[in-house]
Amino acid sequence: MPSTDARSSLDVRAARNLATTTKTRPQMQAITSRWLLRMLPWVDVRGGTYRVNRRLTHRVGRGRVGVAQHGADDVRIIPETLAELPLLRGFADAEVLSAIAATFTPREVQAGEVVVEAGAPITDTYVIAHARLERLATGPYGAQQALGVIADGEQFGDEAVGKEDPRWAYTVRAATAGTILVSPLAELQRIAGSSPALRAQVERYQVVLRRPVNRRGEAAVDIAAGHVGEPVINGTFVDYDLHPREYPLSVAQTILRVHTRVADLYNEPMNQLEEQLRLTIHEIREREEWELLNNREFGLLHNADYGQRISTWSGPPTPDDLDDLISMRRKTRLLLAHPKAIAAFFRECNRRGLVPGSTEVNGHEIPAWRGIPIFPCGKIPISVLHTTSIVAMRTGEDDQGVVGLYQTGIPEEYEPGLNVRFMGIDPQAMMSYLVSAYCSAAILVPDAIGILENVDIAAPRS
C-alpha cells in the first residue's frame, strides 16, 4: 500500500466518497416483451363476467382420451376421459365407462406398419397412447395422398357406431413406433345390451347425427335458392345455444411490504415505494400472460378446440406445417411461438433455401410468415421430449376472434385493470399494499385459434 505522502493528488477511493454516483433504476431479468398482452384486443368487462353467445351447435365436439401408463406393459384408458368421445359426451356412469375402458388392450406398432386399410370393414376403435400415425388416401388419379397426422390421445373408429356396414375411408399407417389401444366395437354393443343408460346415450347420439347442420355443425337455417315460379318458401329461424359459456375475471395478487424507515429515509434520488411497485407490477404482468396461455380454466393452450389442433408432419416446424395451421381460419392475425420453436422454423427454412419475411409492428421488426408476424413467447411450455406448440390466432370481437378481458375504473386503480390498495402499518412498522390484477381471455368461436402441436425443437446433429 503506497504511503499517502507519496501521492500528488486525491485518491480515487477517497474522492468517490464525496461524489454522487450515476446509478440505474433497479433492473430485472425476468421482464419479457409480453407480446400476447400487447397484441390482444382488450374488452372492458363491466360486470366482472363475460358471456360468449353462440349459435346452437348440433355436431358433438371431439376431445382427447387420457391414457395412464403404470409400467412398460401396463397401459390403460382413464375411464372418465372416454366422455371426450362424441358418442359418450356427457355420459357420467362411472361403472359403464370403466367397463368400456377395460375392453381396450394395448398393441405395439412399428414404423411403417399399416394399422387399418382403406375399404376394410370398421370392426375396432383405436386410441393412441404414444405414437404418430398418418392418415392416407388414394387420390382421383391414383396417387397416394396424405390427409393428416394424429398423435397421443387421439382416436379413430368410434364414428362407425350406429352405421350399417361401416368401412374405412382412409388408410392409417404408423409413422413412428409406439403403443395404441384397441377395443372391438362388438364389445361396446355387448355393454350397451346390458346397460339401458348406454343404450339411451347411443340413441341420443344417433338422433344428433340426423339433425341438419351447416358445415360448421351449427343448426341449419332453411334457405331456398335457385328456384323459379312461386314455390312455397319455408320459414326458419336462427337458434341460439341455451347454455353459453361465461368467463369470470381471474385475479393475480400479492402483498407488497415496505418498511417505513426505508420509505422515510431512502427516497432520494429514487422513490423506494415506486420502484418496489414497478418491479412487482412487472412480475404480475408476467404471471398474467402465463395464465392467459396455461390456466386450465381459460388459458388458450387448454381451451383451443381439439378440431383446431394439428400435429407436425415430420416433427420440426416446417413451412408446410405453418401453412396448414394458417389455412384453418380466416384472417390469422398473429402466430405465437417459443423462441426455440422460431429458431427451429428458421432452420427448416434454411434447409429449403427459403428466407422468412418480416413485418413492422409498433415500430418493431418482427419475423413473419406469409405476412403474419411470429411473436416470441417463452411462456409456451416445452415438454421433456423437447416438443412445444405454435399458436395461430384471429383477434377482436368484430372478427369473432380471441379477446382479452379486464375491467377498468376499479377502486384505487394504478394501471388499467390493476389496483394498489394500502392495507395499513403493522406493529413492526411495515407498510403493506395489496396489488391486484384482474384479467381473462375468451375464444369467441372455435376456429379463432389453432395450435400446431408436437413441434420438435431439438436441433439435428450435423
Lowest model confidence (mean pLDDT) among 3-17, 59-73, 181-195, 254-268: 3-17
Higher-pLDDT residue of 359 and 206 is 359
CB 410 within 8 A of CB 46: no
- d(C-alpha 285, C-alpha 32), whole Å: 10
Residues whose CB falls within 8 Å of the CB of residue 297, separated by 6 or more in sequence, listed in order: 250
Cell numbers given for 87: 358418442
Interatomic CA distance for residues 374 and 452, integer angstroms: 13
Highest mean pLDDT among 225-229, 261-265, 281-285, 456-460: 281-285
Q: What is the pLDDT of residue 92?
A: 85
Single out the residue of 307, 339, 342, 320 nearest to residue 448, CA to CA.
307
Position 460 scores a pLDDT of: 76
- The Cα–Cα gap between 166 and 89 comes to 21
- Percent over 70 (pLDDT), the chain: 94
* 8 A C-beta contact, residue 218 and residue 162: no
Residue 218: CB atoms within 10 Å = 18
**Nearest alpha carbon to residue 335 among 297, 369, 308:** 369
Measured distance CA(223)–CA(308) in Å, rounded = 28
- Half-sphere CA count of 25, side-chain side, radius 13 A: 12
Q: Are 97 and 80 in contact (CB under 8 A)?
A: yes
Q: What is the pLDDT of residues 213-231, one digit of tens each?
A: 777 777 777 777 877 888 8
CB 43 within 8 A of CB 405: yes
Statement: residue 2 has pLDDT above 60: no
Q: pLDDT digit string (tens) for 288-326? A: 999 999 999 999 999 999 889 999 998 899 999 999 999
Nearest CA to 339 out of 385, 295, 383, 380 is that of 380
Q: Within a 13 Å sphere around the CA of 189, how many CA atoms are in the beta-carbon half? A: 10
Residue 150 CB burial class (10 angstroms; 0-12, 13-18, ≥19): buried
pLDDT of amino acid 233 = 80
φ, ψ for residue 331, nearest 5 deg: 50, 50
pLDDT of residue 301: 95
pLDDT at 9: 54
Instruction: Decide which of 68 and 401 is more confident.
Output: 401
Task: Name the band, by pLDDT with cuts 50, 70 and 90, for residue 60.
Answer: low
At 264 the pLDDT is 87
With 60 as the cut, is the pLDDT of residue 10 above it?
no
Distance CA 4, CA 153 (A): 78
Q: Give the mean pLDDT of the chain.
A: 89
Task: Report pLDDT for 304.
Answer: 92
236-250, 285-299, 427-441: segment of lowest average pLDDT? 236-250
Q: What is the pLDDT of residues 249-259, one digit of tens each?
A: 999 999 999 99
Q: What is the reported pLDDT for 317?
A: 96
Q: What is the pLDDT of residues 128-178, one digit of tens each?
A: 998 889 999 988 888 888 888 988 888 898 888 777 888 999 999 999 999
Higher per-residue pLDDT: 280 or 73: 280
pLDDT of residue 437: 97
Rounded CA separation 389/387 (Å)? 7
Specify the amino acid at residue 110.
Q
3 state SS for the chain: CCCHHHCCCCCHHHHHHCCCCCCCCCCCCCCCCCHHHHHCCEEECCCCEEEECCECECCCCCCCCCEEEEECCEEEECHHHHHHCHHHCCCCCHHHHHHHHCCCEEEEECCCCEEECCCCECCEEEEEEECCEEEEEECCCCCEEEEEEECCCCEECHHHCCCCCCECCCEEEECCCEEEEEEEHHHHHHHHHHCHHHHHHHHHHHHHHHCCECCCCEECCCCCCCCCCCCCCCCCCCCECCCCEEEECEEEEEEEEEEHHHHHHCCCCCCHHHHHHHHHHHHHHHHHHHHHHHCCCCCHHHHCCHHHEEECCCCCCCHHHHHHHHHCCCCCCEEEECHHHHHHHHHHHHHHCCCCEEEEECCEEEEEECCEEEEECCCCCCCCCCEEEEEEECECCCCCCEEEEECCCCCCEEECCEEEEEEEECCCCEEEEEEEEEEEEEECCHHHEEEEEEEECCCCCC
pLDDT digits (tens, 9 = 90+) for 173-222: 999 999 999 999 989 889 988 899 988 888 888 777 777 777 777 777 77
* Angle subtended at Cα 407 by Cα 402 and Cα 411, rounded to the nearest 5 degrees: 165
Reply yes or no on whether the pLDDT at 453 is more than 70: yes
Q: Distance between CA 365 and CA 200 in Å, rounded? A: 58
